[in-house]
Amino acid sequence: MKLSPYVMLFGISLLVVFKSAAALESQVLNQHTVELGMPWTYVLNDAQQGWLAYYGLENALYVRRPDGSELELGAKDRPRAQSGLAVVPTGQDLAVFWRDKLPEKALFLQSVSGSGASDPSLVVGGAESEPLTRLRIAKSDDVTYLLWYGEKGNPAKQERYHLYFRSVDRDGKTLSPVEQVLPGYYPNWIVDQKAVTVFSWGRLEGQLSMLMRVYDPAQKTFGSPIKIADAPPLTSLFEAFESAGRWFLLWVGYRGDADAPEQLLEGLYSDDRGKTWKSFSFEKLRGLDFSRMEATSDGKGHILIAISGSWRKKEPKAKDDVYLFRSMDNGLTWSEPMQPRPEELRVYQARDPSVAFGNPAGNLMLIWEDWRNLRPNVYVQFSSDYGATWSEAVSLDPSPATRLGLDFTNKTAWAVGDRYQVIAKRYQDDGMKKVDLVRYAFSRTELQEQAADLAKRSMPERQSESRLREQIERYWNAMIANDFATTYALSDPFFRAKQPYNIYESSRGAIRYHSHEIVSIERQGNLAKVKIKFDASVPEFEVRGHKISQPRKTFENTETWLFLGDDWYREYYDQTNEIRFTRY
């Protein structure tokens, strides 16, 4: 096939553009299809090599080794309903902990070899606890500890949900008895060489409380349950962690009027391994509707708490935004909440932040999922002074068609040497149902060079108001001409991903459009509110013997136009049913 000079020149120019771009190192980790919402987890071993465990279609559980090979775990010769997932590196291997609901609820543990054959899975729980899907696994002194919650119940105490525990000895086969540890729903713990300390939120003598119970590895026994403090009703955001010898419990609970409770981020800390506790709270965010909370410590007294949430109770249309608290004295005092995004960007969603302490000391990376471009992307900021100041936010992937998201249940940011890693969900299309799990590896310099290169190659004329007016005119001229192929092509891609053209065309009503006028345009970054004046009528038609028509009238309507990487598109909005397919 002979190419025209224009096509050859265009191809060469594209080659030059992409050759000049400083592309980051990235790799798709999953070999099988992952649908949105399927559990996955990623961890680094002591050699800073990454392991991935994830669920594919039909509850298939896969583990990706550091060398890129994959192994499928679980039953293959019977129906299965696998769910729940926790992992821990064990030297060069990985211990994987999961649940299968069929033929009855059971828990499985398998050691996956980093190379060569792996041991068969071991049944580690079942009827004695009726396990559910919140699982924890840890390793200390070559002993593997398992913690989960189950619904076996305790008729004597009228409590249905409890936390359960057992250990697996060094040989990988000898199991301790399953023990019902504490009432509760959210398994949390701090594991070190001295003890396994389990924390729970549950009822003790009828009162909601923060509870703890200590397992002595030497004696292989638990002490008595200990009430730490009274507690409010909780959301699912609850975690325990250690920082420079200090223990922390951190949660989002409900406080205030029982008829209109407000969410509040609060916690407790202990300097004597749980003998005494002091409370703290973050009143500046009282009333925020929290969507994610992650605490990160460098082990030397520097702590960052990354949060996302919205003020929906005060403003129903409020978007999620990112907040950051920092402590330089191991949690004795905390900064005011910092919002990384300027106010003009808060009309777009931002959520699921994650933080990594980098090298040398003082370096930090903050990432979050950002919808400022109307498709999701991951934005990144760096600090070299423990978060006192931050660099300008830059996108992880500058491609116009990027659809990168983060996960609200997993940590997604790590430091490896003087570089960083991010695990992002890359949506395969605007239907936003299937994702690839992509690992990005980069230094601060590499990412900032990529952003600078992008700025040189930007094409602002495509985002200009004159181009927007062209697109509006095309759309409304097509409406007048009943050119539905054009109006469909100018509709936002999220709508087009949900509704095929034949359905769109067949659903066009009897309205006829005669003229239009652009009254005003109000720009908000990649979003524009456009007021349109138009004339329309309904020609006479008959339904069940009744003749229906409407004379020509003038109407005004405000519609939303979106700049989506390469051009302006009209946002689909069904006013009658308040339906739209965009998610920003």
What's the domain range around 549?
461-570
Q: How far apart are CA 563 and CA 524, in angstroms?
A: 10
pLDDT value, residue 510: 83
Question: Comparing C-alpha atoms, which of 40, 99, 51 is closest to residue 75?
Answer: 99
Q: Which two tokens stand for residue 533?
A: 């004046």
Residue 507 vs residue 85, higher pLDDT:
85
Same-domain status, 445 and 470: no
Residue 444 pLDDT class (50, 70, 90 cuts): very high
Give the residue from 405, 431, 458 where a domain finishes.
458
- The answer to whether residues 111 and 94 touch, using CB atoms and an 8 Å cutoff, is yes
The fraction of the chain above a pLDDT of 90, given in percent, is 81
8, pLDDT greater than 70 = no
Residue 565 pLDDT class (50, 70, 90 cuts): confident
Same-domain status, 380 and 422: yes
Residue 392 DSSP class: P
Q: How far apart are CA 440 and CA 438, in angstroms?
A: 6
Same-domain status, 390 and 514: no
> pLDDT tens, 251-283?
999 999 888 899 999 999 999 999 999 999 999
pLDDT value, residue 60: 96
Same-domain status, 356 and 477: no
pLDDT value, residue 159: 85
Q: How far apart are CA 435 and CA 404, in angstroms?
A: 9
Residue 3 pLDDT class (50, 70, 90 cuts): very low
Residue 143 pLDDT class (50, 70, 90 cuts): very high
Same-domain status, 445 and 391: yes
Mean pLDDT, range 277-294, rounded to an integer: 98
- Domain CATH code at residue 497: 3.10.450.50
pLDDT value, residue 258: 84
Judged by average pLDDT, the poorest of 286-295, 340-349, 411-420, 533-542 is 533-542
Same-domain status, 438 and 466: no
16, pLDDT greater than 80 = no
Same-domain status, 430 and 480: no
Residue 195 lies in a domain: no
- Domain CATH code at residue 398: 2.120.10.10
Same-domain status, 427 and 473: no
The fraction of the chain above a pLDDT of 70, given in percent, is 96
Same-domain status, 428 and 476: no
Question: Comparing C-alpha atoms, which of 97, 83, 162 is closest to residue 130?
Answer: 162
> pLDDT tens, 180-229?
999 999 999 999 999 999 999 999 888 999 999 999 999 999 999 999 99
Residue 308 DSSP class: E
Give the residue from 458, 482, 500 where a domain finishes.
458
pLDDT value, residue 541: 82
Same-domain status, 306 and 384: yes
pLDDT value, residue 158: 77
> pLDDT tens, 320-375?
999 999 999 999 999 999 999 999 999 999 999 999 999 999 999 999 999 999 99
Residue 407 vs residue 12, higher pLDDT:
407
Mean pLDDT of all residues in the chain? 92
Same-domain status, 400 and 411: yes
Instruction: Count Cβ atoms within 10 A of the Cβ of residue 533 and give its class: 0-12 exposed, 13-18 middle, 19 or more buried.
Output: middle
Residue 212 lies in a domain: no
The number of folded domains in the chain is: 2
> pLDDT tens, 237-250?
999 999 999 999 99
Place of tokens 């491609």: 399
pLDDT value, residue 426: 97
- Cα dihedral 361/324/365/268 (nearest 10): 50
Residue 579 DSSP class: B
Cα separations in angstroms, 506 against 489, 493, 499, 501, 539: 15, 19, 11, 8, 18
Residue 61 lies in a domain: no
Residue 22 lies in a domain: yes
Q: How far apart are CA 195 and CA 216, in angstroms?
A: 5
Same-domain status, 405 and 489: no
pLDDT value, residue 459: 63
Question: Comparing C-alpha atoms, which of 320, 323, 294 is closest to residue 309?
Answer: 320
Residue 82 lies in a domain: no
Q: Which helix (DSSP H) or strand (DSSP E) does residue 133 occupy?
A: strand 131-140
